[in-house]
Amino acid sequence: MTAQAPLLVFDLDGTLVDSVPDIAAAVNRMLAARNLAPLSDPVVAAMVGDGLQPLIDRVFAAHGTTPDAGAALEYLHDYEANVAVDTVLFAGMADALRTLQESGWRLAVCTNKPENAARMLLDALGVAGLFTAIGGGDSFAARKPDPLHLRETVAAAGGSPSRALMVGDHRNDVQAAIGCAMPAIFAGWGYGRPGMEEGAAAICPTPADLPGIAARLLQPA
C-alpha cells in the first residue's frame, strides 16, 4: 500500500506572510477614528497571533482603555478591504512552497485570523490554490492553541496527524501541535519572541531551510 502523502500545515501571519504593515495600518485607522494615538509596527506585531478580539483588546489596552462594541468589526472590514496593500510572502517562501509540493507534500493553513480574511489574503497573493484546506480562527469550535483547531484543519485537508507537521512562529502553533501529537517546526524568521519555540521539534531559520527540515522529520511518500 502506498503511504499517505504527508501534510505540512502553516500558520499564516508571521509564518507564510509578513502582514503586520497592513494589520497595523488598519489598527491605526481605527484608532484615529477614536482620536487615539497610532501604534508602531513592532508594537502591533507583538499583539498578533491569538485572533481578532485579542488583538483589538490589546490595542485598546495599550491606550489604557477597552474597545467599544463596534471596534472589532470596523477593524475587520477595513482590514479585509486593504488586505494585501503591503503584505508579502516572506522572502524564499514561494520557492519553499513549490519545492515542498514537488517533493510530494500537501499544504494547508491553520490560522487564528478569521477564515474569510485569510482566504482573501492568500487569494490576493496568488497562492490560495496551493492549500488543500484553510482553517481560520472562526472555522471551528476552538482556535489555537487548542489542538481541536489543528486537528480539524488536518481532517479538512484529508490528512492524519500521524502524517503531518505544523510550522508556525507562535507558542500557539507549538502547543496545538503537541496537543495533536504532531511535530512542530518553529519559524525563526517570524514574529515570535524568545521562549515561544519551547517544545518544537525543530527551529527553522529561513523558509529556504523548511523543505529539508520537514523531510528529516517526516519522510514524503
Residues linked to residue 7 through DSSP beta bridges, in sequence order: 106, 164
Number of H helices and E strands in the chain, helices first, is 9, 8
What is the rounded distance in angstroms from the CA atom of residue 156 to the CA atom of residue 55?
26
Confirm whether 123 is a catalytic residue.
no
Q: How many CB atoms are closer than 10 A to CB 137? A: 23
Residues 180 and 103 in one domain: yes
Residues 159 and 194 in one domain: yes
| Contact assessment for residue 39 and residue 28, using Cβ atoms and an 8 Å cutoff | yes
CATH number of the domain at 149, please: 3.40.50.1000
Residues 72 and 160 in one domain: no
Residues 47 and 145 in one domain: no
Domain end, chosen from 81, 110, 125, is at 81
144 occurs within a structural domain: yes
191 occurs within a structural domain: yes
3-state helix, strand, coil in the chain (%, to 5): 45, 15, 45
Exactly one of 11, 18, 22, 173 is catalytic; which is it?
Answer: 11
- Answering whether pTM is above 0.85, one says yes
> Which pLDDT belongs to residue 1?
37
| Contact assessment for residue 113 and residue 12, using Cβ atoms and an 8 Å cutoff | yes
Residues 53 and 100 in one domain: no
Residues of the chain scoring pLDDT < 50 = 1-2
Domain end, chosen from 54, 81, 108, is at 81
Residues linked to residue 185 through DSSP beta bridges, in sequence order: 167, 202
Q: Rounded to the nearest 5 degrees, what angle is found at the Cα of 134, between the Cα atoms of 178 and 6? A: 55
CATH number of the domain at 51, please: 1.10.150.240
What is the rounded distance in angstroms from the CA atom of residue 40 to the CA atom of residue 87?
16
Domain span at 140: 7-18+88-217
Report pLDDT digits (tens) over 117-163: 999 999 999 999 999 999 999 999 999 999 999 999 999 999 999 99
- The mean of the pLDDT values for the chain is 96
Which amino acid belongs to residue 81?
A
Cell numbers at residue 181, please? 501529537
Domain end, chosen from 81, 98, 119, is at 81
